[in-house]
Amino acid sequence: MKTSKLGLSLEKIAHARELAEQITAPVQQYIEKHTTTTIERATLRLLGADQVDSEGVPVPNLIISTLSDRINSGSTRYYINGLLKKGMVPAELNQAIADGLDITTLDLVDFQYLEEKAQELVKGFSDRVTGNVKIRNDKLNKFGDRANSPWLYVIVATGNIYEDTKQAQAAAMQGADIIAVIRTTAQSLLDYVPYGATTEGFGGTYATQENFKIMRAALDETGDKINKYVRLVNYCSGLCMPEIAAMGALERLDMMLNDSMYGILFRDINMYRTFVDQNFSRMINAFADIIINTGEDNYLTTSDAYEKAYTVLASQLINENFATRAGMPNRLMGLGHAFEMNPTKKNGFLYELAQAEMAREIFPEAPLKYMPPTKYMTGDVFKGYAMNTLFNFVAQATGQSILLLGMLTEAIHTPFMQDRYLAIANARYVLNNIADFGNDIEYKKGGIMATRAQEVLGQTISFLEEIKEKNLLDAIEDKMFADISRPKNGGKGLEGVFEKSSDYWNPVESFLKKQLLTKGAAL
């Protein structure tokens, strides 16, 4: 940003970023020294571990359960050793493990042989993921992509992956650019990833690798018919954050919900577990060229959108810095915010416009994710459409990138197909009619919007300074985000965090760091 339409101080913005970097630094030190059960399972998945036993327990979980405290040396050596000792390919070893083989009881071969085999398996993972990126880019080059206008994002959530594909294909035909498959209620609290195609789920559909594959194929089929690449989104969050990132990379997902603090605040997942997991999951996403979507919009469901607007900006800056530390470029950081002010507030539209423009100016390269009004939706059809129209207006006027469309029946399990159509039609009407509005207006110096944005930036700096003084973990414990308190040693998943031993070995992590550093990202 060379200049600010809102008169924002470039020095203050730089200072806010410095504070965010200082806040995340001690957390990153902890991250580098620790691994988790799900990081190890994700690593195994990327090297070929798959399948389930007769009781539906995934092979990666079976391996980790037999390791016990040896996990602090890394799980990779045992899996690769099993391949070498048994003379098997991954599919054969996976079946043997599912049938009861304990690979941790096998004598280890010389480390040089483990390293040689690891390089072969890592190359297989790398070739598959880079191939996926090429397929996506080739399709985008062939069909083109929306320019100078937000991508239109809608959801499907029937619980049945086969019904989801029908709904998703219909939405793509109606004009949607992005399809998000809402994850079934509480899957984020499962410490394993279900296996295979699923046809039952409450409030959404299970995130499984087979479901990813089915939906990707369905969207490609429709996209090829309508000469358009349709992006696919799922939820890389919860207790299996790195594993779902791995599955998404392997099956060519395009976006992943992936926040550094969402699981802590809104799912009561232990903060140490979440901070370690988000780093590894973001490395995978960065390598797979997957855009992440962060969850700052959720803060405004528990906090007032006007009074606590600064917490959104502070979290965006913290999410940005954690993502940078994971090697993710700005163009993949779909930082979140939302249109959630009380519609009865005088000049609320001006405050919303100021907030959205501020986010765009502070994060000029980020594909910002903008969420529609939900908190104050009442069921009044006409008022609801008016609110969604204003939301669409702000999105286009301020150059938002990812526009999650508001629709009236979204909270009733899965939106009615006709409501998706009307939501898409509303957005396309507004976006077209004010296509160049943002480039054609100026913000009055000293006016309501410029004053508001400068005020929020100032509050954010004060807030970040307070967090730095406390440290991030204590700030979360003290209810500084979303008015929710989470204890450092509480929540779910802490038992799955392990300090790395001096002989810890993870060839996937080493590969990802090398690749991301080569691209110039700062770890």
Give the catalytic positions in this structure. 262, 297, 369
Neighbours of 387 (CB within 10 A): 21
**Residue 19 and residue 461 in contact, taking contact as beta carbons nearer than 8 Å:** yes
- Return the closest-CA partner of residue 184 out of 226, 244, 136: 244
| AA letter at 167 | Q
- Separation of alpha carbons 128 and 167, rounded Å: 28
Query: With contact defined as beta carbons under 8 Å apart, do 182 and 234 qualify?
Result: no
- Long-range contacts of the stretch 517-522 (C-beta < 8 A, 24+): 517/327, 519/327, 519/329, 521/286, 521/324, 521/327, 521/328, 521/329, 522/324, 522/325, 522/327
Cα-based angle 182, 183, 185 (whole degrees, multiple of 5): 115
Q: Rounded to 5 degrees, what are φ and ψ at 152?
A: -90, 120
User: By C-alpha distance, which of 172, 176, 211 is closest to 193?
Assistant: 211
**Strand, coil or helix: what is 380?**
coil
Q: Which residue has the tokens 């807030």?
A: 463
Of 383, 325, 312, the closest CA to residue 351 belongs to 312
User: How far apart are alpha carbons 115 and 77 in whole angstroms?
Assistant: 9
Q: For residues 295 and 276, give the distance between their C-alpha atoms in angstroms, rounded to a whole number.
A: 18
